[in-house]
Amino acid sequence: MSNERRLEVLRAIVQDYVSTSEPVGSKALLERHQLGVSAATIRNDMAALEDEGLIAAPHTSAGRVPTDAGYRVFVDRLSQVRPLTPSQRRAIQAFLAESIDLDDIVERTARLLASLTQQAAVMQYPSLRRSRVRHIECLAMTPTRAMLVAILDSGRIEQRTVEFAHPVAEGDDFVARLRERLNAETDGLLLAEAARGLSLLREAFEPERRADVDAVVETITAVFGEEREERVVLAGTANLARAGTDGLHVQPVLDALEEHVVILRLMSNLAEDAEAHDQVTVRIGAENPHEGLHSTSLVTTSYGPDAVAALGVLGPTRMDYPQTMANVRAVARYVSQLIES
């Protein structure tokens, strides 16, 4: 659409409908907004918007509601995402800062998003295949046993034990040298790259220690190569029941959410599509590939270093898009900072 006034009328209709959940008429637009035109002009603009499929009459009344296409035009023309207040930012930061591990971060983030938006929140666990090695610790537990701890930039921590064929004598710096070489070969690499980089590590050690080095490398390589079942965490699904009067077909949505593989595939695709930090993706109505989600909008963004996963909220198409987008982006920023710290 090229007519800026009609776009302003569309914006006003979206805002009023989101606020009141009632169809919006020309009289209400004149009373609530300074559009600077007559009632007849607004009626003409509304007729043009309806012809273009951006608004529709839910029943025989003077009021109109936005269509999915109307919401799309509104979202695409948002000049900026509404900023959060300082108190909101402090509350988010304080709540997430109390997390004790990755599982707690994910659970808290999902609950926080659901509370902030009053929608259903979805958070994908960080993907191993997109994670990088931050540090590998090798700790001697006994002369013949060591603990390996792999710390990833996604916040994941993997622990394994390994048995040495030859005891490590007191004063032998084998474990310290092994730790140093492990980190030199893997630091900052994706897991698949790190596994390949360890293949020749044995050559850096004396022959009598190479069997032990092989055991360590085999253990770490196995961890890096594991195929893990990716997971998503949901929170606030009860909010969907309260949104049932907003044109949301609740049961198909709940059925889709129960199929975690469907949600996981959707979130994975969105994370890959939004690798640039701060990019918020909005899928409205039938833009969602799963038929059960056609009465919803999904607002998501990626989080973590290298956009390792996605988080977001799902609710009726009648939602406060600027505020929801701001909440999703702000929470993703704080989660990323927490994981990277």
pLDDT above 90: residue 270: no
> Percent of the chain having pLDDT more than 70?
92
pLDDT tens digits along 70-90 = 999 999 988 666 778 888 888
pLDDT value at residue 193: 87
Of the listed ranges 152-161, 163-172, 209-218, the one predicted with least confidence: 152-161
Report helix angle 321-340 to 86-97, nearest 10.
Answer: 40
| Position 292, amino acid | G
Q: Interior CA angle at 8 toward 10 and 49, to 5°?
A: 35
- Positive or negative torsion for Cα 97, 98, 102, 108: negative
Confidence of residue 167 (pLDDT cuts 50, 70, 90): very high
For residues 215-236, average pLDDT: 83
- pLDDT value at residue 196: 86
Q: Is the pLDDT of residue 275 over 60?
A: no
Structural domains of the chain, ranges and CATH numbers in brackets: 4-76 (1.10.10.10), 86-127+230-340 (3.30.450.40), 130-225 (3.30.390.60)
In this prediction, residues 252-278 reach a mean pLDDT of 71
- Which two tokens mark 317? 């198409």
Q: In degrees to the nearest 10, what's the CA dihedral of 55, 60, 63, 66?
A: -20
- Please report which confidence band the pLDDT of residue 272 belongs to, taking 50, 70 and 90 as the band edges: low
Q: Which of 278, 326, 341 is nearest to 88 (CA)?
A: 326
Residue entry with tokens 């659901």: 114
- pLDDT confidence of residue 197: 84
Judged against a pLDDT cut of 80, whether residue 6 lies above it is answered with yes
pLDDT in tens, 289-340: 888 889 899 999 988 876 678 899 999 999 999 999 999 999 998 998 888 7
